[in-house]
């Protein structure tokens, strides 16, 4: 039996799909969204996790993309100061490097002045012989440039967009694969199957949005039956996480001899994140894994800069994802455009919007542009509203993180500070929903390891669609870095035993 007729049916539970669903629901559209796996289980949890203008994109003359990205940094930071925060990036320089100093200065001047910077501090020049930033690096770097960008918990940004969309009336359907979509009587008829089961459901909608990321062409070919779908270029990006390589809160931007760049970023308090690679990918995106070649490349590239080399045996975790870049014919993976392209197919009788490319920083603007096209196709509802909004838990001052930690530890004095800091970073003001009426640690229930307790797991099941230990440990939290294999197995057994009625 077909259900109610939705205005919009979105395929894809990554940042673009969830961002579009949230914006549309907030304008009064009836929205449904289907994601074949867990939310943010593809590209949107496998990024370098930066909210950035894209300094290196200036070399490819992508000025519109860079300007839009720069203007979005502080907008997104204000929307979600719990999961987004500013970082200072140190770009070491030495004579004979790939890029001359004048070119770097010019790029950073444009970066400072193209748009939007109010709270983020401007570019500076560092003497690496006296500045603490030079201590972890080899002594051949006597000078560095320092600039501002931002950091984001990428998977949480996706889930919080989905949560807010649901709170505004959207139907969010994780683990629901679209097997076919066809035009019937001026509407889309969408057949779905729930992952891991034979349970099928049919939905109807006035408009279809294909935001399936790396699978966008596959949706066009398989679900929509159009064999002529070759719009995206799949590029693999891999990252390694090692024990903390340096003190302090600053990150590093390293230029490699092959003209590529990598970042070394403080990660989850006790670790350093190093990435990313850029190479074309031809296989199934769900099978992507870091290769031995990429592992060696990242270790060698970082070791060119750090006094203490990075070795494969130092790695505590790796992750890889496939970026669905719009295929502009660029000769090298790292030169392919990071800009997004929206293609509207038909403006009457069940229109289709295909979403190609995009990145974390521009997802909100991409969503606004998508809503403009949706309005053209099925009629506009409401005005743009997300620029001044807050994601769930982000309703506090943009520079108010420390005050929120104090407030949480005052209300729940039994919390250790590190635990409180992590909860505020994950949930912001919603941390009190996680802890509820607890007055002592025992009230949080079973301890799974690290700072993960039953109360938090139950919250993630009830409110954030978590269904497996992987969902909890690697997307909703990053406690997988701290739990033993035995503890992870114990959590998985608990998740399997949880009743389906706790669905969020």
Residues near 474 by beta carbon (within 8 Å), at least 6 away in sequence? 45, 155, 319, 480
Fold of the domain spanning 401-498: Helicase, Ruva Protein; domain 3 (1.10.8)
Q: HSE (CB half, 13 Å, CA atoms) of 62? A: 19
For 2-43+155-230+337-388, the fitting CATH number among 1.10.10.10, 3.10.20.740, 3.30.70.890, 3.50.50.60 is 3.50.50.60
Contact 13, 174 (CB under 8 A): yes
Q: Determine the average pLDDT of the residues in 185-211.
A: 95
420-463 pLDDT tens trace: 999 999 999 999 999 999 999 999 999 999 999 999 999 999 99
**C-alpha separations of 374 from 24, 208, 382 in Å:** 9, 9, 12
CA-CA distance, 19 to 27, in Å (whole number)?
13
Give the residue extent of every domain in the chain: 2-43+155-230+337-388, 84-153+233-331, 401-498
Beta strand pairing call for 352-357 and 200-210: parallel
453-481 pLDDT tens trace: 999 999 999 999 999 999 999 999 999 99
**Residue % of the chain over a pLDDT of 90:** 80
pLDDT computed for residue 63 by the predictor: 79
Structure tokens at 148: 């501002």
Which DSSP category does 314 fall into?
Answer: G
CA-CA distance, 97 to 103, in Å (whole number)?
11
Q: Determine the average pLDDT of the residues in 49-76.
A: 84
DSSP 91-125: EEE-TT-SS-HHHHHHHHHHHHHSS--SSS---EE
* Cα dihedral 223, 224, 225, 229 in deg (nearest 10): -100
299-356 pLDDT tens trace: 999 999 999 999 999 999 999 999 998 887 765 666 666 679 999 998 778 999 999 9
**H-only helix segments in 6-100:** 15-26, 63-79
CA-CA distance, 46 to 269, in Å (whole number)?
19
Contact 251, 90 (CB under 8 A): yes
CA-CA distance, 158 to 330, in Å (whole number)?
29
CA-CA distance, 320 to 401, in Å (whole number)?
30
Structure tokens at 280: 């074309």
pTM listed for this prediction: 0.95
Q: Which of 36-40, 79-83, 94-98, 302-306 has the lowest mean pLDDT?
A: 94-98
CATH class of 84-153+233-331: alpha beta
227-274 pLDDT tens trace: 766 788 999 999 999 999 999 999 999 988 888 889 999 999 999 999
pLDDT surpassing 90 at residue 37: yes
- 160: enclosing H helix or E strand: helix 154-167
pLDDT computed for residue 501 by the predictor: 41
């Amino acid at each position: 039996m077909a259900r109610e007729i939705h205005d919009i049916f979105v395929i894809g539970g990554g940042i673009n799909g969830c961002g579009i669903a949230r914006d549309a629901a907030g304008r009064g559209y009836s929205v449904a969204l289907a994601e074949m796996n867990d939310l943010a289980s593809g590209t949107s949890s496998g990024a370098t996790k930066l909210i950035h203008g894209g300094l290196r994109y200036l070399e490819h003359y992508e000025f519109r993309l860079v300007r839009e990205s720069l203007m979005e940094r502080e907008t997104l930071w204000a929307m979600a100061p719990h999961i987004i925060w500013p970082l200072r990036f140190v770009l070491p320089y030495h004579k004979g490097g790939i890029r001359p100093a004048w070119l770097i200065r010019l790029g950073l001047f444009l970066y400072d002045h193209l748009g939007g910077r109010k709270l983020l501090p401007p570019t500076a020049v560092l003497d690496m012989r006296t500045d603490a930033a030079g201590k972890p690096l080899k002594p051949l770097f006597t000078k560095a440039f320092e600039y501002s960008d931002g950091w984001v918990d990428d998977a949480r940004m996706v889930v919080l967009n989905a949560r807010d969309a649901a709170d505004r009336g959207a139907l969010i359907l994780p683990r629901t694969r679209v097997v076919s979509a066809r035009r019937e009587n001026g509407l889309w008829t969408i057949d779905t199957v729930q992952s891991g089961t034979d349970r099928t459901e049919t939905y109807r909608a006035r408009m279809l949005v294909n935001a399936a990321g790396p699978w966008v062409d596959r949706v066009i070919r398989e679900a929509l039956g159009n064999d002529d779908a070759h719009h995206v270029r799949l590029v693999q990006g891999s990252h390694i996480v090692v024990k903390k390589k340096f003190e302090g809160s600053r990150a590093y931007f390293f230029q490699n001899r092959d003209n590529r760049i990598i970042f070394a970023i403080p990660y989850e308090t006790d670790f350093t994140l190093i990435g990313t690679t850029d190479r074309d990918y031809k296989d199934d995106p769900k099978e992507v894994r870091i290769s031995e070649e990429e592992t060696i490349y990242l270790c060698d590239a970082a070791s060119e800069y750090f006094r203490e080399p990075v070795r494969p045996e130092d790695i505590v975790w790796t992750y890889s994802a496939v970026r669905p870049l719009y295929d502009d014919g660029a000769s090298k993976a790292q030169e392919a455009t990071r800009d997004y392209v929206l293609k509207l197919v038909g403006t009457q009788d069940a229109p289709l919007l295909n979403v190609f490319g995009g990145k974390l920083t521009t997802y909100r603007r991409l969503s606004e542009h998508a809503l403009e096209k949706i309005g053209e196709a099925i009629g506009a509802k409401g005005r743009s509203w997300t620029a001044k909004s807050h994601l769930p838990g982000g309703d506090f001052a943009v520079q108010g993180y420390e005050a929120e930690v104090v407030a949480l530890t005052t209300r729940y004095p039994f919390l250790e500070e590190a635990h409180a800091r992590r909860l505020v970073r994950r949930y912001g003001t919603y941390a009190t929903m996680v802890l509820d009426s607890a007055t002592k640690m025992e009230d949080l229930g079973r301890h799974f390891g690290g700072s993960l307790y039953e109360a938090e797991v139950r919250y993630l099941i009830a409110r954030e669609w978590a269904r497996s230990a992987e969902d909890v440990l690697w997307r909703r939290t990053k406690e997988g870095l701290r739990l033993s294999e035995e503890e992870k197995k114990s959590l998985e057994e608990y998740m399997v035993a949880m009743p389906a009625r706790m669905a969020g």
